[in-house]
Amino acid sequence: MTGTPALDHLARLAGIEDGWWDFFGEWRVVPPATKRVFLAAMGLPAEDDDQVRDSLRDLLARPWRRWLEPSLIVEEHSAPPGVSVTLPAEADHWEFRWTLEEELGILHSGAFRPLDLRWGEEHEVDGRMVHRRWFDLPALPPTGYHRLTLTNPDGVSAIMTLIVTPARAFVPEIVADAPGAWGVASQIYSLRSAKDWGVGTYAALADLAAGAGKLGASCIGINPLHALFPSHPDRFSPYSPSSRRFLNITYIDVESIPEFAECQEARRMFASPGFQASLARVRGYGLIEYPDVTQLSRPMLEALYRWFRKTHLDPLDERGEAFRDFQSEAGERGRLFAVFETLHEKYERAGTGYWRQWPEGLRRPDSPLVGDFARENEERVEFFQWLQFVADQQLGAAHQAGKTAGAAMGLYRDLAVGIAGDGGEAWAEQDALALGVSVGAPPDPLALKGQDWGLIPFNPITLREQGYAPFIGVMAANMRHAGALRLDHAMSLQRLYWVPPGLPADQGAYVRYPVDDLFRLVALESRRNRCLVIGEDLGTVPEGFRERMDRLGLFAYRVMVFEKTESGRFRPPGKFDAQALAIFATHDLPSARGWWLGRDIDQREKLDLYPRPDQADEERQARRQDREAMVAALSGEGLLAADFPIGGPLSDVQAVELSAAAHAYLGRSSARLMMVQLEDVTGQDLQMNLPGTTVQHPNWRRRFHDDCPGLLKDRRVTALAEGLKHRASDRKS
């Protein structure tokens, strides 16, 4: 094949779909130019016909060039799997040794001659004949990650990871049966406390978790805690991280670090009039000023680390041992991330923070020059490891505070769908990523021009060839210190909408992912970490996706303002999906009060986010119909007066009445987990994030007016908790 047919065939093999139906019902054909860009990002050059043919030949030959596949994923309690063994024809009579090492160290071994195995097929590759046969394992090991090694008579080996997964993900007892449970949702940066330095902290989160647990909440939902860019503090979106495997150090509560009480240098710095004046200033800001927060906290953190290194590492004491254990557990990936932070700090000051602009020898983590740099900057690398250690300890304390107070699941964390291309994860995992494209979404009601999130996706081809190790690492890291995990844009387990560089967001295409394998890996990590998984399945959902979620025990995500029947009525409480989380709105929507007033429509119109000038008025009319339908639904349940005003501004009393009625409605729903956003309960008119904007809206910078104890003592919050007592809070997960 040549030309377009060959290109189309290569694209389909790589998972690029031919087209997609947009929100308006139009079939959008993916042009050849887009396919060529995407294929190049996958490591399959396709600029011309010769490159297409070469890439096609290479992709088809890859499975024939390796003895074993990188991984094999099977479900527990199934028959022992047949393992594909692909060997040169001349090896038919050789004796091969095999060893299966279980995760817990149990060894199984044996030998075979390829000629004695079940026949599969043959193929000529690179000028030699290759035979594929099937080797049957004698038994299936338990769930977990195991290693199969195949060795020829000359001692040459090949390794495959055998992954045995459960049939279903973990579901805590508290949400396994009706009526289920409820939880509090908040953005950690919004939390106030007496000790914060201008932004919410892990210690404030511990206060929220403990207070919510005492009120009867079973979990505390928060925004992503992923590592951002300490050397570039004005990059503060929690959904555009440097790495999803490590934590945001901005949320460290400095005064809660044990060294703060010990270090005289830090105490003198803290007590100085200049420092106290700066602290009062950042605490008093109406919006979070992240650069000012960093400028205030960084010198203090450096002083505390110096004290820690001096007093706890030389000689080593109990706290020093805990740090060394943390370093060991974080492993090579943890060390490399700290090396990246040190490199990024150095080159950000020089104006070349993007790792692709660094000296060539530093652009790959396995380069000898990177090793030299790490050794020369050992103390600075250790500083960034220490920051992760402190953040991890404080997050763990917050999770435990909730559980101790009665919140059976503790923290409910959030996993972003991708990473920034210039961050630490992209540098460390570049071979598993599709560099050169970004992730987004096609046009939908929330973003009618489509969205380009500027995030880098996994490369589905190389991810599979790496045995899914980067994906598994991200999952495990985000289930740490958590009883539940939300997968932002969960459809990424099956397909992702990629956007070519420099083109509008509606010019992208869908790329398929190995959905069966990824779902099974999510279920395995869920079981291993005893962590409920909630898939945010909003927007364009592939056929069969929700059924797959239901079958594997992943909870769906049901937002009340979207839960309407074909007739335009709001779904009755008893008709909500049982295996689901129900919530009034999300961080990408205005609060209940703002939604009622159409603040999001006003903002999108003001910022020219509508493709057509008349669409704002169309949305206002649709919103009025939604208000009418909501009053009908709430009054039909006896929760709101039937004559509740549909138009005009809402008084404070009316805003609270509306919110209380809506949450009582959700409390009656058959959804086993119900979440409550604090800004909705307290009747605030705000929106944490406006999709499609950056600096045009104060995304991720809004703070609550009261501190955590004040919020939780608010009569509106305590009244809501009282009304949700029928949702159990004292059963163990």
Domain boundaries, the chain: 3-63, 77-165
Q: Are 52 and 6 in contact (CB under 8 A)?
A: yes
Side chain identity, residue 147: R
- Furthest C-alpha separation in the chain: 86
Split the chain (733 residues) into runs of 10 and give each run's mean pLDDT. 81 96 87 96 96 96 97 94 95 97 96 96 94 94 97 97 98 95 97 95 98 97 97 95 98 98 96 97 95 97 97 92 97 98 96 94 97 98 98 98 97 97 97 95 77 94 96 98 97 96 92 98 98 94 95 97 94 97 94 93 88 88 96 97 92 94 97 96 89 86 93 95 83 47
Side chain identity, residue 405: A
Q: Are 354 and 422 in contact (CB under 8 A)?
A: yes
- Look at residue 4 in the predicted model and tell me its pLDDT: 85
Verify cis geometry, omega within 30 degrees of 0, for the bond prior to 315. Answer: yes
| Token code pair at residue 204 | 């404030």
Angstrom distance (rounded) from CA 643 to CA 634: 11
- Look at residue 3 in the predicted model and tell me its pLDDT: 57
Beta strands in 186-322 (DSSP E): 219-221, 226-227, 243-247
Contacts with 145 (C-beta within 8 Å, 6 or more apart), sequence order:
103, 161, 162, 163, 472
CA angle at residue 36 from 357 to 59, to 5 degrees?
Answer: 95
Q: How far is CA 240 from CA 202, 223, 237, 363, 677, in A?
A: 20, 12, 5, 21, 22
Angstrom distance (rounded) from CA 429 to CA 618: 45
3-state secondary structure of 607: coil
Contacts with 603 (C-beta within 8 Å, 6 or more apart), sequence order:
687, 690, 697
Angstrom distance (rounded) from CA 275 to CA 328: 36
CA angle at residue 634 from 629 to 638, to 5 degrees?
Answer: 140
Q: Are 706 and 157 in contact (CB under 8 A)?
A: no
Contacts with 370 (C-beta within 8 Å, 6 or more apart), sequence order:
339, 343, 361, 362, 364
Q: How would DSSP label each residue in 229-262?
A: -TTSTT---TTS-SEEEEE-GGG--GGGSGGGGT
Q: What is the 8-class DSSP label of residue 437? A: -
Side chain identity, residue 518: L
The per-residue pLDDT for range 210-234, each reduced to its tens digit, is 999 999 999 999 999 999 999 999 9
Kindly report the backbone phi and psi dihedral angles of residue 337, in degrees, each rounded to the nearest multiple of 5, phi listed first.
-65, -40
Alpha helices in 479-543 (DSSP H): 515-529
Beta strands in 286-428 (DSSP E): 410-415, 419-420
Query: How many other CB atoms are there within 10 angstroms of residue 379's CB atom?
Result: 11
Beta bridge partners of 441: 451
3-state secondary structure of 223: coil
* Cα Rg of the chain, angstroms: 27
Q: What is the 8-class DSSP label of residue 132? A: E
Closest to 83 (Cα-Cα) out of 143, 159, 165, 167: 159
Architecture of domain 77-165: Sandwich (2.60)
Q: Are 711 and 678 in contact (CB under 8 A)?
A: yes
- Look at residue 733 in the predicted model and tell me its pLDDT: 46
Angstrom distance (rounded) from CA 717 to CA 422: 41
Angstrom distance (rounded) from CA 203 to CA 211: 12
Pairing of strands 128-136, 495-499: unpaired
Burial of 132 (0-12, 13-18, 19+ CB in 10 A): middle
Angstrom distance (rounded) from CA 483 to CA 170: 10
Angstrom distance (rounded) from CA 637 to CA 661: 9
The per-residue pLDDT for range 658-703, each reduced to its tens digit, is 999 999 999 999 999 999 999 999 988 889 998 878 888 999 999 9
3-state secondary structure 692-716: CCCCCCCCCCECCCCCHHHHHHCHH
- Look at residue 108 in the predicted model and tell me its pLDDT: 96
Contacts with 345 (C-beta within 8 Å, 6 or more apart), sequence order:
230, 231, 380
Angstrom distance (rounded) from CA 186 to CA 587: 9
Alpha helices in 351-498 (DSSP H): 368-376, 378-404, 424-428, 460-465, 469-478
| Token code pair at residue 247 | 């934590």
Pairing of strands 219-221, 181-185: parallel
